[in-house]
Structure 1
Amino acid sequence: MRTTPLAAGPHPSVADRLLDGLASAITERGYRDSTVADVVRYARTSKRTFYEQFASKEECLIEMLRRNHSDLIAGIGAAVEPEADWRLQIDKAVGAYIDHISARPAITLCWIREAPGLGAAARPLHRLVMGDLTDLLVSLTGNPGFRRAGLDPITAPVALILVGGLRELTALFVEDERDVHGIAAPAVAAATALVSAG
């Protein structure tokens, strides 16, 4: 699995380099087997520098996943044209999601499988991610393209069901090292059915 760096721009900060170091370690060894020593080796810095930025490997992971999540939300938002036909909007949103996870499969799997194991420390991140994704779906389905078709926005509980199902399907594809583009058809079909049922 290959992971696209999280750091943006030609001059990443120390924290950016450490986050990318963790991403590289996760890609190579998985989160549980990765150590702070692995992170600083990839980041080409020291443990002292690491602990000046993060209190622990877990804190570094939570920040990495938070940034990854922000990138995902921004990517989906940028891909969708609110005035376009609603079916095209669904295709574009699913496509942006797949582009994101295919660039960072190890991070995606870590978010789905490993982060819940952090317990209370990761709970605020989990609620943020799920809340932002459901809010995004509710907002997207309330835009002009959907309204022109006479469709009501989906509710937050329905959006959560869609996000949860897509999340699990994504994990299965990544774990089995299958091409994640294979989730496109079922994701589009599920989203279309849920939107139309409203």
Structure 2
Amino acid sequence: MTSPVLASNAERLLDGLAASIGERGYRDTTVADIVRHARTSKRTFYEQFAGKQECLIELLRRNNADLISTIEAAVDPEEDWRVQIRQAVSAYVAHIEARPAVTLSWIREAPALGAAAQPLHRQAMDHLTDMLVTLTGSAGFRRAGLTPVSGPMALILLGGLRELTALHVEDGGDVRRIAGPAVAAASALLGAG
């Protein structure tokens, strides 16, 4: 069992990495930057993580889990399917808006980590796909005569949304501007079922 002190140190370090990514980007972030933001020591860092890469993978894993929880909490399965799509997209956008640099690291930086990040990517996409399949199996979708989206179709929708998100974040654009196209694409794809 992890002690509360170790857990709080890990949380502080993850927050420190997130702050440094927002300030400098992942590539330019050093362990010294992480511990400076976390207000702790390198010794504490290395008690928690083998290195910066492992810390990033854990940050992204938790961020993705938070994203899924946020979307699931925002969607009312009894609402009309179109309302559910807007609820899901609004929750997605709000989550991304809160930590755009961390999201961009997940989309652009994590793949560069190679095999070390592959389980993270696979797990995140599996969980996001499962979430979409579950959401589209709700009462609001069933009342409209719609069947749950297939896994491959959910993956196509998610991949497009990730790329649209990355482009807006990279360009420094307002992430809220992806909401309209995301709702339209999701409505077209999910409503065709």
* TM-score category, normalised to shorter length: over 0.9
TM-score of the two chains, using structure 1 as the length reference: 0.93
Length-normalised TM-score, structure 2: 0.96
Structure 2 unaligned spans of 5+ = 1-6
Q: 1:18 aligns with which of 13, 16, 19?
A: 13
Structure-to-structure mapping, 1:67-82, within 5 angstroms: 67-82=62-77
Aligned-pair CA distance for 1:16 = 0.4
Distance in 1, matches of 2:23 and 2:64, equals 21
The equivalences for 1:10-159 within 5 A come to 13-159=8-154
Within 1, Cα distance between the matches of 2:96 and 2:34?
Answer: 22
Gaps of 5+ in 1: 1-11
- The answer for the alignment partner of 1:187 in structure 2 is 182
1:186 and 1:104 map into 2 onto residues whose CA distance is: 21
Q: CA RMSD in A?
A: 0.7
Amino acid of the structure 1 residue aligned with 2:152: P
The aligned residue for residue 8 of structure 1 is none
Query: Deviation of residue 197 (structure 1)?
Result: 1.6
Aligned residues: 187
Deviation digits for residues 136-191 of structure 1, max 9, x if unmatched? 11110001000001001110000000000000000000001111111011100111
Report runs of 4+ in structure 1 exceeding 2 Å deviation: none
Could you say which structure has the higher helix fraction?
Answer: 2
Q: After superposition, give the CA deviation of every residue in 1:60-81 in whole Å (9 maximum; x if it has no partner).
A: 0000001101110000000001
Q: Which residue of 1 aligns with 2:160?
A: 165
